[in-house]
Amino acid sequence: MSDNSQEEKIKEALFYKRLNSKVKCNLCYREGTISEGKTGFCKVRKNIGGKLYSLVYGKACFYSVNPIEKKPFYHFWPGSFAFSFSTVGCNFRCKHCQNADISQAGPDETAELDLPPNKIIQAAKSSSCEGISYTFTEPTVFFEYCVDTGTLAKREGLTNNFVTNGYMKSEVIKKSKEFLDAMRVDLKGDQAHYQRMCGGIELEHVFQSIKEIFRAGIHLEIITLVIPGENDNKATVELLGSFLE
Ligand code: SF4
């Protein structure tokens, strides 16, 4: 496939810098520098001809209609339903991920649905959902798809929420404020847990994102998945609790 025909099926990325033939992605704190012809750590963003592209725009791999409490949100539109979808790809490598079959896959490793933003909105409305949830994998890595879907959804009176690991950079949070009503962020454990279980993640960046989401005035809920013997020790609970105070 030539670059031109490939470009017709993909979307130029937001938030990146060109560095001669390489590109630097500024979407998440991985801050990947990607050589020509290569994809980033999340597998869904590719350098083609010195420009960065999303390979999953309009290509959901899974969707379902869920009660908002299943996300879980407890204080955001209780009793409502969210049309929930994702693409493949993630910037984390959590050993305990319950959706690893899609979060750790690349675009050629699962079936892709043809679901551009307008079809997502139609599907949400026809299934009587009050909102859209960007979930199951990590919405940060399919952010361009989220922006266009979320903007349309807002115009149609639907709410938008992210279920996220909170590893996005400041520019992403600022842009999210234009269409996003709520974020539910995982705060997974202490630094050793993030290093050992999630693929070399820096807890300080998650803390930073949580502060910025809060300051941006986006409805914020935080959960910690407790793994007995892994992240339920007193020091971890006190660390996370004191941050949230
Ligand atoms: S979004 Fe993907 S390509 Fe961009 S820095 Fe993060 S892992 Fe790398």
Judge if 146 and 201 occupy the same domain. yes
Judge if 14 and 87 occupy the same domain. no
Q: Whose CA is nearest to atom 4 of ligand 1?
A: 25
Average pLDDT for residues 225-242, to the nearest whole number? 96
Q: 83 C-alpha to center of ligand 1: Å?
A: 25
Atom of ligand 1 nearest to the CA of 34: 3
Q: What is the DSSP string of the chain?
A: --HHHHHTTSEEPSSEEEETTEEEE-SBTT--EE-TT-B-TTSSEEEETTEEEES-TT--SEEEEEEGGGTT-SSSSTT-EEEEEE-S--S---TT-TTHHHHT--TTSS------HHHHHHHHHHTT-SEEEE-SS-GGGGHHHHHHHHHHHHHTT-EEEEEE-S-B-HHHHHHHTTT--EEEEE----HHHHHHHHTS--HHHHHHHHHHHHHTT-EEEEE----TTTT-SHHHHHHHHHHH-
Q: 27 C-alpha to center of ligand 1: Å?
A: 6
Using a cut of 0.85, tell me whether the model's pTM lies above it. yes
Residue 9's pLDDT is: 66
Give pLDDT tens digits for 10-53. 899 999 999 989 999 999 999 999 999 999 999 999 999 999 99
Instruction: Band the pLDDT of 171: cuts 50, 70, 90.
Output: very high
Judge if 143 and 189 occupy the same domain. yes
Residue 4's pLDDT is: 45
Q: 201 C-alpha to center of ligand 1: Å?
A: 13
Residue 22's domain spans which residues? 3-53
Instruction: Band the pLDDT of 172: cuts 50, 70, 90.
Output: very high
Judge if 102 and 222 occupy the same domain. yes
Judge if 20 and 139 occupy the same domain. no
Judge if 48 and 142 occupy the same domain. no
Q: 15 C-alpha to center of ligand 1: Å?
A: 10
Judge if 7 and 108 occupy the same domain. no
Judge if 73 and 7 occupy the same domain. no
Average pLDDT for residues 229-240, to the nearest whole number? 96
180 lines ligand 1 (CB under 6 A): no
* Count of structural domains within the chain: 2
Residue 10's pLDDT is: 85
Judge if 166 and 71 occupy the same domain. yes
